[in-house]
């Protein structure tokens, strides 16, 4: 059986796709760069490692050789190595990957884009739409996956949401609904598209969670789970938009994140679950479970650092921590 190449294999989403594909005994090849944090995880799951970089065009031809399908989840929205940027990776690198896959005889290309609701007003969304066009015109069979915001990366201190401290920074009123989705469900859908639904071709796959909830409702869910009241700070979306505009040349990734966040704060981001999504994700992870998992992960982290609340950890199911592998 020809391998499925995963580009972005060491990322949050890509590593979970690799794990799921290996669990169903598919041959999987992962593109890995020097010092990638999850290389050992991939090896443990029997992923064939191929060294490469989206900024190194010859390495892409080598990675694609003999592969049946390419699944690309890579992004430089949080750049790790010098030279990573959304222009060099999300635009030029992804473009080079589509060309390399086509030249190498890859039959199917599965690309991770962003929510269909986001307008192309930031460089990041423009690059995603550019690559969608390139994938569609490549001559390969294609699936373009368009997920809403990942729950696991949205409620972190880096995003102004501090569960441990009980503090939340919210852009705007916090009343607009968003179809937060678990990265575990996005991975399930993409692994399913790559294997069970191999006949799905030339298709967009927008993905949202099972229920849309506003930021205010998410804060309330955390308050219920932790039994404490959160301090909430509201910031006008116009401030994020203005900062995004000022940073557009110097920090295009941050500028794009601010622009997308400001848009969602004003307009929300609701994606209805399609029939295909229901087949691929029959039992999606619900908001209250995601909140609960996040709270547990925070408690476990505190125990690891300070040795407190050890009793809470021992009470966990067989020491397994749902959501833990997905911490950024
Ligand atoms: N987070 C969200 O809310 C959200 C919502 C909708 C769509 N998405 C999309 O979902 C996808 C997956 O996101 P994620 O959270 O899994 O991202 P992530 O954890 O930041 O992973 C990014 C991956 O891209 C790889 N990468 C970066 N630069 C590269 C390069 N030059 N060459 C090869 N690989 C490179 C990284 O490799 P290293 O380990 O070597 O750095 C890593 O494997 C992205 O396309 C993102 O746009 C995310």
Residue 249: both structure tokens together: 């040349």
73 lines ligand 1 (CB under 6 A): yes
Using a pLDDT cut of 70, give the percent of the chain over it. Answer: 93
Enclosing domain of residue 207? 4-148+182-211+270-280
Question: Average pLDDT for residues 29-39, to the nearest whole number?
Answer: 94
Residue 168's pLDDT band (cuts 50, 70, 90): very high
59 lines ligand 1 (CB under 6 A): no
85 lines ligand 1 (CB under 6 A): no
CA distance 252 to 236: 21
Asked whether the predicted pLDDT for residue 278 surpasses 60, the reply is yes
CB 213 within 8 A of CB 46: no
181 CA to centre of ligand 1 in angstroms: 16
- Determine which residue's CA is closest to atom 28 belonging to ligand 1: 76
Asked whether the predicted pLDDT for residue 323 surpasses 80, the reply is no
219 in a domain, yes or no?
no
Work out how many domains the chain is built from and give that number.
1
153 lines ligand 1 (CB under 6 A): yes
Asked whether the predicted pLDDT for residue 322 surpasses 60, the reply is no
Domain with residue 58: its CATH number is: 3.40.50.720
74 lines ligand 1 (CB under 6 A): yes
325 in a domain, yes or no?
no
- CB neighbourhood size of 56 (10 A): 14
Q: Which atom of ligand 1 is nearest to the CA of 77?
A: 20
Instruction: Indicate whether this model's pTM tops 0.85.
Output: yes
300 in a domain, yes or no?
no
pLDDT of residue 309: 52
pLDDT of residue 320: 30
60 in a domain, yes or no?
yes
E-assigned strand segments in the chain: 4-7, 28-32, 48-51, 69-72, 108-112, 141-147, 161-162, 167-171, 203-207, 231-235
Q: Helices (DSSP H) in 281-318: which residue ranges?
A: 287-306, 310-314
CB 187 within 8 A of CB 218: no
Q: Are strands 161-162 and 108-112 parallel, antiparallel or unpaired?
A: unpaired
89 lines ligand 1 (CB under 6 A): yes
Asked whether the predicted pLDDT for residue 49 surpasses 90, the reply is yes
Q: What totals of helices (H) and strands (E) does the chain contain, helices first?
A: 13, 10
153 in a domain, yes or no?
no
Residue 301's pLDDT band (cuts 50, 70, 90): confident
Three-state SS string across 109-166, please?
Answer: EEEECCCCCCCCCCHHHHHHHHHHHHHHCCCCEEEEEEECCEHHHHCCHHHCEECCCC
294 lines ligand 1 (CB under 6 A): no
Alpha-carbon Rg for the chain, nearest whole angstrom, is 20
179 lines ligand 1 (CB under 6 A): no
Q: Are strands 48-51 and 28-32 parallel, antiparallel or unpaired?
A: parallel
293 in a domain, yes or no?
no
Using a pLDDT cut of 90, give the percent of the chain over it. Answer: 87
From 5, 13, 263, mutation site for ligand 1 pocket: most ligand atoms within 8 A of C-beta? 13
> Can you say whether the dihedral through the CA atoms of 138, 74, 326, 171 is positive or negative?
negative
CA distance 24 to 194: 11
CA distance 50 to 254: 30
Residues with Cβ within 8 Å of 265's Cβ and at least 6 positions away in sequence, in order, are: 170, 171, 172, 173, 174, 176, 237, 240
317 in a domain, yes or no?
no
167 in a domain, yes or no?
no
Q: Which atom of ligand 1 is nearest to the CA of 54?
A: 32
72 lines ligand 1 (CB under 6 A): no
- Determine which residue's CA is closest to atom 41 belonging to ligand 1: 80
CB 31 within 8 A of CB 9: yes
């Amino acid at each position: 059986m020809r391998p499925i190449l995963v580009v972005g294999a060491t990322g949050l989403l890509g590593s979970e796709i690799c794990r799921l594909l290996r669990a169903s005994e598919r041959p999987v090849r992962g593109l890995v760069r020097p010092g990638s944090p999850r290389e050992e995880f991939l090896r443990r799951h029997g992923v064939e490692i191929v060294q490469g970089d989206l900024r190194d065009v010859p390495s892409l031809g080598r990675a694609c050789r003999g592969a049946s399908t390419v699944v690309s989840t890579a992004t430089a929205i949080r750049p790790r190595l010098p030279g990573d940027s959304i222009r060099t990776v999300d635009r030029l690198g992804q473009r080079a990957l589509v060309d390399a896959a086509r030249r190498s005889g890859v039959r199917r290309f599965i690309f991770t884009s962003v929510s269909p609701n986001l307008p192309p007003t930031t460089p990041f969304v423009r690059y995603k739409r550019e690559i969608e066009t390139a994938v569609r015109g490549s001559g390969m069979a294609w699936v373009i996956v368009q997920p809403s915001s990942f729950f696991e990366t949205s409620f972190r201190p880096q995003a102004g949401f501090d569960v441990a401290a009980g503090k939340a920074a919210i852009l705007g009123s916090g009343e607009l609904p968003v179809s937060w989705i678990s990265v575990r469900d996005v991975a399930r859908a993409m692994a399913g598209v790559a294997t069970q639904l191999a006949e799905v071709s030339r298709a967009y796959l927008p993905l949202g969670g099972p229920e849309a909830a506003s930021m205010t409702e998410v804060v309330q869910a955390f308050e219920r789970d932790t039994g404490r009241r959160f301090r909430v700070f509201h910031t006008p979306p116009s401030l994020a938009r203005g900062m995004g505009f000022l940073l557009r040349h110097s920090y295009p990734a941050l500028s794009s994140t601010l622009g997308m966040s400001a848009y969602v704060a004003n307009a929300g981001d609701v994606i209805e679950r399609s029939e295909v999504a229901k087949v691929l994700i029959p039992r999606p992870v619900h908001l209250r479970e995601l909140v609960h998992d996040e709270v547990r992960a925070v408690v476990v982290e505190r125990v690891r650092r300070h040795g407190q609340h050890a009793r809470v950890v021992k009470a966990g199911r067989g020491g397994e921590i749902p959501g833990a592998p997905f911490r950024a």
